[in-house]
Structure 1
Amino acid sequence: MLTDRPHPKQAGAAWDSTDIRILSDNSLSGRHAVITGAGSGIGQAIAIRLAELGAHVVGIGRNDNSLRDTEQYTEGTSGSFRWFQADVRDSTLIRSVIAKAAADTGIDILVNNAGGQFYAATDDITDNGFRSVVDLNLNSVFTVISEAKPFLALRGGSIVNISLSGVDRGSVGLAHSLAARAGVLAMTKTIALEWAHLGIRANCVAPGVVISELLPAAIATSLLEDVVPRSVPAGRPTPVADVAELVAYLATPASRMITGQVLQIDGAAHLGRGLHMVNDWPPSHATNS
């Protein structure tokens, strides 16, 4: 009988390294980047790394205090960081912000990182809840990309949409979010086809379990002690630094032939049990009719 045994932590020299940065200093010097959700977590890590590599970064987010934190973290880098406070779901406002951010400079790198969801069985998701999650994770991404397109086309550019591990496999409790993320993946592939002649590339980056500083301690502990050992074959969460370095690589000429892809950065979680399976599923009272 198969058993649900925990995965041991992946071993090897790669995990002995305290610094995984591989891109040379100033490899993005003079490039212009726009990042949504740049005030915390993955978005903040990407903003800092791009600035370290010499890029001029514009961050967009809802919390001005968080964006100021990102600004402080980028001080002393060879690049720069400025920010706009905006909710990506406000299509009129976000189009205005993108136009202001790129009017004089164009856009070389566009990172759609803003997003979020809540866990609920499909039966428990209301119409409003479903539409709210789709609006945040799909509709707003289209708005940002469509407004940024002429600025990306000035010199050719890289679009990176931050997704989730294992979108194509389904997941208990995330019908609304995965519907949106699947839409983003389909849109990404279509844009890669339609805009390739403009030098615009589009890819999805799909992290696994990321432990950010904003997670409540109880949730972080649950992820590290339960979800990761049972669901990630590598036995480890995905470091935000790894995601940031991959996104930065996708902005360099070395990735000029990579487009229309979903790059899973999840320790093989999309091949294993799945990150979002829950222990009590299916319900114990379920019966066949």
Structure 2
Amino acid sequence: MKFDLKGKRAIVTGGGSGIGRAIATTLAIQGAEVHILDLNSNSLDETIKNITKKKGKCYSHICDVSNQNNVNDIISQINSKKHIDILINNAGISHIGNIENTNEADFDKIYNVNIKGMYNCMKAAIPEMKKQGGLIINMASIAASVGINNRFAYSMSKGAVLTMTYSVAKDYLTHNIRCNSISPGRVHTPFVDGFIKANYPGKEKEMFEKLAKTQPIGRMGTPEEIANLALYLCSDEASFITGTDFPIDGGFIKLNGN
């Protein structure tokens, strides 16, 4: 069977909801043993319940990826039983604002989760991966490649994700560690629904359609579509791919304005 992950062990950060939940579920259905790291215990429980119903094998870990000691303890615990084959660095937060209305606390929070969080997880996982090889996927964004209004701090963080991906891919070629990134466009997740409800009360349907149409293809992506790309990159079928960013954006980067 193509894209078979039986015998593989995967870590998915931020796997409690949205894209992370879809990736964790997809990898588990394809046979991987999935360890899900998230701060929200209720979201973790829901993801575990969904995967278990589909006969997948999964475990939950409450983790703050911005805390290096917390990350080290959990990844060491997972590695002690059997090595990690796959690391999906998905945990991240968003922020809306240009440089003038991004205060220091906002900037530091984005840095600590979106950049330091990925650094922490890769730094903890790579030493063991060096022994037998492995695969890392970092969730970047179209904001790493093109300018987007009022996303100063978020874009900064995703640009760092992109270049960290290239550096790790280059540095660990001889250790058989592949490292790639995925850059989604706008994806319909609970975050989008919450953002619209909070900022456009009474105009939810209108704003949803407006945001959907910012993607040239005419709609938002789904978490499952991102998860399917992640599955391919995790599989042996993608063994010739490293050091590459994969936009999945409904044509946003190349087709906007054309």
Q: Identity rate of aligned residues, in percent?
A: 28
Q: Equivalences for 1:3-42 in 2 at 5 Å? A: 24=2, 27-42=4-19
Contact in 2 for aligned 1:34/1:58 (Cα 8 Å): yes
User: Which residue does the alignment assign to 1:85?
Assistant: 62
User: Which residue does the alignment assign to 1:256?
Assistant: 239
1:241 to partner: Cα distance = 1.0
Residues 171-214 of structure 1, C-alpha deviation per residue, up to 9 Å, x if partnerless?
22111111111111111001111101111011110111111245
1:137 to partner: Cα distance = 0.6
Contact in 1 for aligned 2:95/2:106 (Cα 8 Å): no
Q: Equivalences for 1:67-82 in 2 at 5 Å? A: 67-77=44-54, 79-82=56-59
- Return the letter of the residue paired with 2:100: D
* 2:176 aligned with 1:210: no
Structure 2 CA distance for aligned equivalents of residues 162 and 242 of structure 1: 14
Structure 1 CA distance for aligned equivalents of residues 55 and 136 of structure 2: 22
User: Which residue does the alignment assign to 2:144?
Assistant: 167
1:228 to partner: Cα distance = 2.3
User: Which residue does the alignment assign to 1:224?
Assistant: 208
1:77 to partner: Cα distance = 4.0
User: Which residue does the alignment assign to 1:267?
Assistant: 250
Structure 1 CA distance for aligned equivalents of residues 130 and 175 of structure 2: 6
- Return the letter of the residue paired with 1:62: L
Structure 2 CA distance for aligned equivalents of residues 101 and 213 of structure 1: 29
Contact in 2 for aligned 1:120/1:173 (Cα 8 Å): yes
Residues 220-270 of structure 1, C-alpha deviation per residue, up to 9 Å, x if partnerless?
6455311221x2111121111111111111111111111111100111111
User: Which residue does the alignment assign to 1:19?
Assistant: none
Change in Cα spacing, 1:223 to 1:205, as seen in structure 2 (3 Å) is farther
Structure 2 CA distance for aligned equivalents of residues 223 and 260 of structure 1: 36
Contact in 1 for aligned 2:143/2:158 (Cα 8 Å): no
| TM-score (normalizing by structure 1) | 0.82
| TM-score (normalizing by structure 2) | 0.91
Residues 25-65 of structure 1, C-alpha deviation per residue, up to 9 Å, x if partnerless?
8x100100001001000000111111100100000000111
Residue ranges of structure 2 left out of the alignment (5+ in a row): none
User: Which residue does the alignment assign to 1:243?
Assistant: 226
Contact in 1 for aligned 2:8/2:32 (Cα 8 Å): yes
Moved over 4 A (4+): none
SS at match of 1:169: coil
Structure whose CA Rg is larger: 1
1:153 to partner: Cα distance = 2.1
Count of paired positions: 250
Picking from 105, 130, 133, the partner of 2:110 is: 133
* 2:87 aligned with 1:110: yes
Residues 123-153 of structure 1, C-alpha deviation per residue, up to 9 Å, x if partnerless?
0111121111111111110111011002222
Q: Equivalences for 1:171-210 in 2 at 5 Å? A: 171-210=148-187
Note the aligned Cα RMSD (angstroms).
1.8
